[in-house]
Structure 1
Amino acid sequence: MSSILNRILWGRDPDKPNPMSGLTPRDIYAVQRSWAVMYAEAGKYGLELFIRLFRLNPVTKTYFRTIKDMNEEQLSKSFQFKAHAINLMSSINTAVTNLNQPEVVIALMNKLGETHKKRRVEKSHFEDVKAVLVDILRNDLKLTDDVISSWAKFVTFIYKHIFDVLDDKQISNE
């Protein structure tokens, strides 16, 4: 009976992963719903994500020439850096809102991989971003382990396509 009810409510099996993304409809719902809370305060959480990233791995701050010598207070007052933080949040938002179209998300992540490859950003820095994101999800938003597990699947999906580009030895000039 619950199988029939699930198909009526979800329109399909809510626990069957999409072959491209690895995400189930239930995962997509969990990520999109929890993301809406974060994205409602994109400036705040984007800035917080970067500040925590710089605390975790100060080397990552050196990728940003205009702010590399700023302290946290100066960073939080920099409109240029706030704009970059919001840009990051917008990129995540575009991926999250298009999870039902994994081909679109793959194209977006390939492009993101290209821009970060040109700046010689390393995979380990992305892993640091993941650690900070999980920290925010767990400790600030107080999300459950199930929702965080859905986020882990989401990050694995997007990172695969970013890393595919970072691992490619040729840099595109497009």
Structure 2
Amino acid sequence: MEKVQGEMEIERWERSEEISDAEKKVIQDIWSRVYANCEDVGVSILIRFFVNFPSAKQYFSQFKHMEDPLEMERSLQLRKHARRVMGAINTVVENLNDSEKVSSVLALVGKAHALKHKVEPIYFKKLTGVMLEVIAEEYPNDFTPEAHGAWTKMKTLIYTHVTAAYKEVFSMFVTGQNGVIKLKLVSSVDKSIKPPPALLGFFLMGR
């Protein structure tokens, strides 16, 4: 089921389509129902994400060895992360009419995952895809073809802004001894790190 390794080589920068006012309302209306049950829906999203893409668990020391979905569901750490993910999405949805706010929030998410957590950006595309699947299954009466189109734009919006942050993070670097990458300009950060090879491939692909 999982297909992640190698995708970085063919992944291309995506551009998000403009979300119309009507589509924003559709997204916000559905999200109001989803967020009323945010923890359970968030847990469902993460469990499916980890089951479909088990390599993503490598970034989570608290539950990376969990295989049983029921064990994941009972995990307090997973539930805590689910609330965090849903909270970030909620901030984006609430501010769809404020493009600067959306960009700022997702830039922070992207930079944190690039620098601190060193997560390969393709996982954001996988996660948002799973998010759409779960929401469509949980709220089938609301998830009309029009809603699906609006949420597809929302998914692309998230991925585009997050990956733009990754590109910014690795936009200026020099290779030092032993392959160490020294970041020269990363939001006032100046330090040496060793990003995963896939992150470098992602950056070089976009040049």
> After TM superposition, is the score higher than 0.5?
yes
Question: Shift of residue 21 of structure 1?
Answer: 7.0
Structure 2 partner of 1:129: 127
Correspondence for 2:51? 55
Partner of 1:92: 89
Runs of 4+ aligned residues of structure 1 deviating over 4 Å after TM superposition are none
**TM-score under structure 2 length normalisation:** 0.70
Distance 1:84 1:129 in 2: 13
Check whether the contact 1:56–1:128 (CA below 8 A) recurs between aligned residues: no
3-state SS of paired residue (1:166): helix
Report percent identity of matched pairs.
Answer: 27
1:1-174 → structure 2 map (5 Å cutoff): 22-70=18-66, 71-118=68-115, 119-142=117-140, 143-168=143-168, 169=170, 170=183, 171-172=186-187, 173=189
3-state SS of paired residue (2:19) = coil
Partners of 1:139 and 1:43 lie apart in 2 by 16
Q: C-alpha deviations, 1:58-102, integer Å up to 9, x for none?
A: 001111011111232222112222111001000000110011111
1:89-120 Cα shifts (integer Å, max 9, x gaps): 00000110011111101000000001111222
The answer to whether the 8 A contact 2:109-2:162 is kept is yes
Number of residue pairs aligned between Structure 1 and Structure 2 = 155
CA contact (8 A) 1:21 1:102 kept: no
Q: Which runs of 5+ in 2 are unaligned?
A: 1-15, 171-182, 191-207
Gaps of 5+ in 1: 1-19
Quick one: distance in 1 between partners of 2:123 and 2:97? 27
Give the TM-score normalised by the residue count of structure 1: 0.83
Classify the secondary structure of the residue corresponding to 1:120.
Answer: coil
Once residues 129 and 59 of structure 2 are traced to their aligned partners in structure 1, the CA distance between those partners, rounded to angstroms, is 19
